[in-house]
């Protein structure tokens, strides 16, 4: 009980004395806040990108690509291959007995970013009749669906937000082709919202692609049926194809960029954390120095060294916690929901929103507390070891 009282009294004194060293304390808390903001901005970016990519995937839709092509842009399928996929096992059939599949052509067109005015690659996807029905949560939020056989575009909301000139009703030119934007759609913030959609035969015709398609999306009877289709493809020499579920495909597409962002964020934040630790050490050493006589007085009264150690450490942790909370709050205010675009695996822009979760914010707070712990440890040891006689002689 006595030790607990001592510790609680000394901790309370330390915390109350923070105001006496207001500016050094503020600078330490802000240094921690800055580290937390940097880390959380990267983590929010990685998480947002991953969410955008993974949100697009369903496990009962199979994507079929040419073997080894890895991304839609590199793929190419023949008309025969498309027909054989439609005849494959586990593919859902409509009332007429036709396979629910969408042959798709994925092309790159130009767009200009609203904020920087720079050109960027944007994906134009020609989709088959069943294509729209294979996207979860598709909602046309403005205008209408493109008409079959017309030079009409449906534009993703995220793309429309980040790039200029794609308002509904506007006319756009891609190379020698001219298109009218007739509608805008949302798919719950997934990667599809970073695309233009148009009628597949029109895209094939205007871009001189003949009957070529790059991928087929097939609605499967169950998630397990994807494996059946893969086995069917592997056993047929005419089908040298990769068959994966849509969510596995997007998870793979997301992993490279997500890992890159996260692997950049942590080392940068940790490098900055060293600076913040130096700041915390400086503040806490000056705290101990300015309280030397107080600590020595308590020791003379009968207090042990341990309460002085804990008091100093807690003071440092309190400053770090204040910094961590400020940093997490600032990151949430400035970055959560922030829209950005980056190059995806198909060399086209993927528009995504920074997404901060409580778990990520906890990561930031933990890093902040680690800074406080390391920054307070040595000064706390010094506080515990202050010789009473020398401490009392301090003025």
Name the site residues for other proteins (rule: CB under 8 A): 1-2, 5-6, 9, 13, 16-17, 20, 293-294, 297-305, 388-389, 392, 395
Name which of 9 and 112 has its Cβ closer to other proteins: 9
| Least Cβ distance, residue 301 to other proteins (angstroms) | 5
| Least Cβ distance, residue 319 to other proteins (angstroms) | 16
Q: Find where tokens 């401490």 sit.
A: 391
| Least Cβ distance, residue 309 to other proteins (angstroms) | 14
The H or E element that residue 319 is part of is helix 305-335
Contact (CB, 8 A) for 198 and 181: no
Torsional class of 175: left (φ above 0), alpha (ψ -120 to 50), beta (otherwise):
left
Name which of 11 and 33 has its Cβ closer to other proteins: 11
Q: From residue 306, how far is each of 280, 309, 388 by CA, in Å?
A: 20, 5, 14
Euclidean distance between CA atoms 192 and 208, whole angstroms: 24
| Least Cβ distance, residue 260 to other proteins (angstroms) | 49
Euclidean distance between CA atoms 146 and 144, whole angstroms: 6
Q: Using CB atoms within 10 Å of the CB of residue 176, give its burial: 0 to 12 exposed, 13 to 18 middle, 19+ buried.
A: exposed
Name which of 89 and 387 has its Cβ closer to other proteins: 387
Name which of 191 and 314 has its Cβ closer to other proteins: 314
| Least Cβ distance, residue 192 to other proteins (angstroms) | 59
Q: How far is CA 268 from the centre of its chain?
A: 17
Name which of 20 and 178 has its Cβ closer to other proteins: 20
Half-sphere exposure of residue 2, counting CA atoms within 13 Å on the CB side?
Answer: 3
Name which of 213 and 319 has its Cβ closer to other proteins: 319
Euclidean distance between CA atoms 133 and 123, whole angstroms: 19
Euclidean distance between CA atoms 180 and 161, whole angstroms: 17
| Least Cβ distance, residue 19 to other proteins (angstroms) | 8
Name which of 11 and 370 has its Cβ closer to other proteins: 11
SS3 call for 389: helix
What values do phi and psi take at 243, rounded to 5? -120, 115
Q: What is the CA radius of gyration of the chain?
A: 30
| Least Cβ distance, residue 28 to other proteins (angstroms) | 19
| Least Cβ distance, residue 11 to other proteins (angstroms) | 12
| Least Cβ distance, residue 286 to other proteins (angstroms) | 16
Name which of 76 and 305 has its Cβ closer to other proteins: 305
Euclidean distance between CA atoms 122 and 338, whole angstroms: 20
Name which of 201 and 304 has its Cβ closer to other proteins: 304
Contact (CB, 8 A) for 311 and 383: yes
Q: Per-residue DSSP letters for 214-257?
A: SEEEEEBSSTTHHHHHHHHHHH-TT--EEEEEHHHHHHHHHHHH
CA torsion through residues 239, 240, 244, 246, sign = negative
């Amino acid at each position: 009980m006595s030790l607990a009282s001592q510790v609680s009294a000394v901790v309370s004194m330390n915390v109350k004395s923070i105001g006496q060293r207001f500016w050094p304390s503020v600078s330490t808390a802000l240094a921690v806040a800055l580290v937390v903001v940097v880390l959380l901005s990267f983590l929010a970016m990685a998480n947002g990108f991953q969410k955008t990519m993974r949100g697009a995937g369903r496990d009962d839709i199979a994507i079929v690509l040419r073997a080894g092509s890895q991304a839609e842009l590199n793929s190419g399928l023949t008309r025969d291959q498309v027909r054989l996929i439609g005849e494959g096992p586990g593919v859902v059939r409509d009332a007429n007995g036709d396979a629910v599949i969408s042959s798709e052509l994925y092309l790159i067109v130009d767009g200009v970013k609203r904020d920087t005015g720079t050109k960027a690659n944007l994906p134009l996807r020609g989709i088959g009749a069943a294509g729209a029905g294979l996207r979860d949560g598709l909602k046309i939020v403005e205008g209408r669906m493109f008409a079959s056989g017309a030079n009409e575009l449906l534009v993703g909301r995220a793309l429309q937000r980040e790039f200029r000139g794609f308002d509904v009703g506007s006319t756009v030119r891609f190379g020698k082709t001219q298109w009218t934007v007739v509608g805008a759609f949302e798919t719950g913030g997934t990667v599809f919202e970073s695309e233009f959609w148009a009628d597949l035969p029109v895209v094939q015709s205007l871009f001189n692609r003949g009957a070529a398609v790059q991928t087929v999306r097939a609605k499967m009877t169950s998630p397990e049926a994807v494996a059946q289709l893969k086995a069917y493809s592997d056993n047929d020499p005419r089908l040298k194809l990769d068959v994966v579920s849509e969510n596995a495909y997007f998870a793979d597409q997301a992993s490279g960029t997500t890992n890159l962002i996260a692997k950049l964020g942590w080392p940068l934040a940790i490098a900055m954390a060293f600076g913040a630790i130096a700041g915390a050490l400086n503040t806490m050493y000056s705290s101990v120095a300015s309280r030397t006589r107080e600590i020595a007085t308590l020791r003379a009264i009968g207090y042990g060294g341990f309460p002085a150690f804990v008091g100093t450490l807690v003071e440092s942790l309190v400053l770090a916690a204040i910094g961590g909370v400020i940093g997490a709050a600032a990151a949430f205010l400035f970055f959560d929901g922030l829209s950005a675009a980056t190059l995806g695996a198909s060399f086209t822009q993927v528009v995504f929103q920074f997404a901060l979760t409580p778990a990520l914010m906890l990561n930031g707070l933990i890093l902040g507390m680690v800074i406080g712990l390391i920054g307070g440890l040595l000064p706390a040891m010094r506080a515990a070891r202050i010789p009473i006689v020398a401490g009392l002689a301090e003025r």
